[in-house]
Amino acid sequence: MKKLSVCAFSFLLFLAVCIIFSCSGLAGSFNQDVHEYFDMMTNTAAIEKHDIPVATQTGSGGRLCISSADGPVTVSYYLRNPKLFKFTEGESLIHSFVDSEAQAASTGANKVTVKQSQSDSSVIDVKYPLGFLREMEGGEHSIAESINIKHPYSLEDFGTYSISLYCNSAPPLMQGGVCLADDSSPSKAVLFMNLPNKDSLRYIHKDLKYLKVDGRRFEISVDDSGVVSFASGTTNPVKIASAVSSNPADGSIVYGSHTYSRFGSSNAVYSYIDSNTSLFYETGDNLSLGKSYTVELVDNLGFSSSIIIDASANQIGEVTYQNQNGETVTYTDSQGAETTGLNTIYGDEGKAYLVLVPPADAPDAVLSYRIYKSNTGSLGDFVVSGKVNGKKSIAVPCPENVGEAGHYIIKAYAHKNLYADSAESTCIIETKPSTYFGNGGLVSVDDIMVWVDGINSTEYSSSPLQKTKGSVSLPLVATSASASNSSQDVITEGITWNWRILLSGNVSNTITPSSGNSSVVSFNSSSCNTDYIFVLEIKVIYGGREKVFYCNMKFTNP
């Protein structure tokens, strides 16, 4: 029995020693792992996530796509960078396209740039120019960059980061579709419609694959000039129409030996473009109220766009134009009548924003647009095309260098299912960098200072501006925030002013006028109370953004 106890004690002692040594080993391993983790988190850098700032769509094969209509596009990569390393391109910042086709397209003005942000060392920006995106449309080739970062001195490899990204825009809409009645008895439904603009097709949408009419699918292809052809060898009820004659007065069309007329209460007018874009489709259906047809375009990645043509559709109004402040931009309607307004819009980072406004009778319409360079007022090179839903801003190329200007022509029309498309309106604009002032320096709205009657507005927050009752005129001047007086770094273009005079938070009823939108605050204060402190609220709108300043005022008797 004693011998058994000794054996048991020896076994337990041996087991305890093993456990102690085992725990010691685990502790050492744990401590080493923790040390390595903290060393990695505090002494190295790595790209941890990215941000694509524009809308994306996913096509067949799971391809994530951006559209050239949003170009230029900057994709930002966010780093863990506790040491604030500065990475040098070609040495500690190595990047390359994952697809050779993208590498070939990235040249000259279309060159894609990869740079660490100068203001934020935790960001690497990849900027895709509009021209590059247009070249890569169709979603066939990846536009992603593989980015490798290394220690700036030892060149220790911190790892490589890459994403999946392609460029492909959803197909444009068929334009101007109408459903008319043929001259048989009873009348049969016949569709007339126009293919999308050739420039949009040849530069952006050569990947179109199918046209669908009321569920029937027809294979198509687009050549280098933007002309659409139907696959041969099949009986095709969709015909390329030629020599179409239309009568705008009653909307009737003469094609071949037949006349096609409006049906019901429709006021639709079909606008024939040319023999390579106009389509004619005999449905064979008896025409009746409420009859409609869906026409769809589908591309290689499965992106699609569709319209619904109604037999008794009425035509909606035309697209109009504004800047981001809601001010009218000069445009011409389809009949040549001009609405005057601003001729210049301002932007930054290569983009200025023009707001497309749908017609009042269709505020939810789809607005299809094309942008061209303007050559002394005439149509120049095609730039890009796209579509937006309802009232939305679109990006127009804008120079980034001070003193330069871009000139562009925008053509747009409105579409709403079950209605006839509007005619096209035209806007001719100039784009300039919004963030500049007289001496050529750059500034944003956040860096603006406002001077009231020659004095920095911030000085009136503690000591009110004193004025004698009666007629008052206060000039407003905007400068960079670093200006030492109201005549230095004056911002000369792109400023919009709005001001109000408030008393106890409400617009004053003893000062007239109590609001305005000029750079001079002019009013009459004869009826105001000298015991009260009034507040001049000044809203500056610059580059599509706004900043508000306040100035206290008090009035004395003459």
Same domain, 85 and 133: yes
What gap in Å lies between CA 515 and CA 498, rounded to an integer? 8
The token duo for 260 is 């096609």
Among the three residues 310, 343, 364, which one is the final residue of a domain in this structure? 310
Q: What DSSP character marks residue 301?
A: T
Cα 216 to chain centroid, rounded = 34
Same domain, 159 and 183: no
The token duo for 94 is 């190595």
- Best CA proximity match to 146, nearest among 103, 87, 83, 82: 103
Asked if residue 282 is part of any domain, the answer here is yes
* CATH number of the domain within which 78 lies: 2.60.40
- Best CA proximity match to 138, nearest among 207, 72, 197, 209: 207
Same domain, 55 and 155: yes
* CATH number of the domain within which 364 lies: 2.60.40.10
Pairing between strand 166-167 and 63-66?
parallel
In total, how many domains does the chain have? 4
Asked if residue 290 is part of any domain, the answer here is yes
Which helix (H) or strand (E) segment is 220 a member of?
A: strand 216-222
Same domain, 229 and 328: no
User: At 201, which amino acid appears?
Assistant: L
Other CB atoms closer than 10 Å to residue 340's CB: what's the count? 9
Collect all residues with Cβ–Cβ distance below 8 Å to 428 and sequence separation of at least 6. 330, 331, 332, 343, 374, 377, 407, 408, 409, 410
Same domain, 349 and 399: yes
Asked if residue 36 is part of any domain, the answer here is no
For 267, left (φ over 0), alpha (ψ -120 to 50), or beta?
alpha
- Best CA proximity match to 327, nearest among 8, 541, 118: 541
Asked if residue 85 is part of any domain, the answer here is yes
What gap in Å lies between CA 182 and CA 198, rounded to an integer? 29
Collect all residues with Cβ–Cβ distance below 8 Å to 254 and sequence separation of at least 6. 244, 245, 246, 247, 260
Among the three residues 374, 405, 433, which one is the final residue of a domain in this structure? 433
Asked if residue 57 is part of any domain, the answer here is yes
Same domain, 386 and 481: no
* Entry field: residues in the chain: 558
Asked if residue 405 is part of any domain, the answer here is yes
- Asked whether the bond before 186 is cis by omega within 30 degrees of 0, the reply is yes
- Best CA proximity match to 497, nearest among 523, 521, 479, 531: 521
The token duo for 169 is 């825009």
Same domain, 259 and 325: no
Residue 207 lies in domain: 175-310
Same domain, 52 and 143: yes
Same domain, 183 and 300: yes
Sequential pLDDT tens for the chain (558 residues): 444 454 555 555 555 545 554 555 555 555 555 545 545 556 789 999 999 999 999 999 999 999 999 999 999 999 999 999 999 999 999 999 999 999 999 999 999 999 999 888 999 999 999 999 999 999 999 999 999 999 999 999 999 999 999 999 999 999 999 998 888 888 899 999 999 999 999 999 999 999 999 889 999 999 999 989 888 765 668 888 777 888 878 888 888 888 998 887 788 888 877 667 888 898 888 988 888 999 999 999 999 999 999 988 899 999 999 988 888 999 999 889 999 988 888 888 889 999 999 999 999 999 999 999 997 778 899 999 999 999 999 999 998 876 788 999 999 999 999 999 999 999 999 998 876 554 445 566 677 889 999 998 888 877 899 999 999 999 999 988 878 888 888 887 778 899 999 988 889 889 999 999 999 999 999 998 888 999 999 998 876 678 899 999 999 998
Same domain, 462 and 406: no
Asked if residue 104 is part of any domain, the answer here is yes
Asked if residue 108 is part of any domain, the answer here is yes
On the 0-12 / 13-18 / 19+ scale of CB atoms within 10 A, 95 is buried
pTM for the model: 0.71
DSSP string over 364-433: T-EEEEEEEEEETTEEEEEEEEEEEESSEEEEEE---STT--EEEEEEEEEE-TTSBPPPPEEEEEEEEE
Same domain, 208 and 332: no
Same domain, 199 and 301: yes
- Best CA proximity match to 503, nearest among 473, 523, 483, 474: 523
Q: What are phi and psi of 14, to 5 degrees?
A: -60, -40
Cα 354 to chain centroid, rounded = 10
Helix-strand-coil percent breakdown of the chain, rounded to 5? 15, 45, 40
Among the three residues 125, 143, 167, which one is the final residue of a domain in this structure? 167
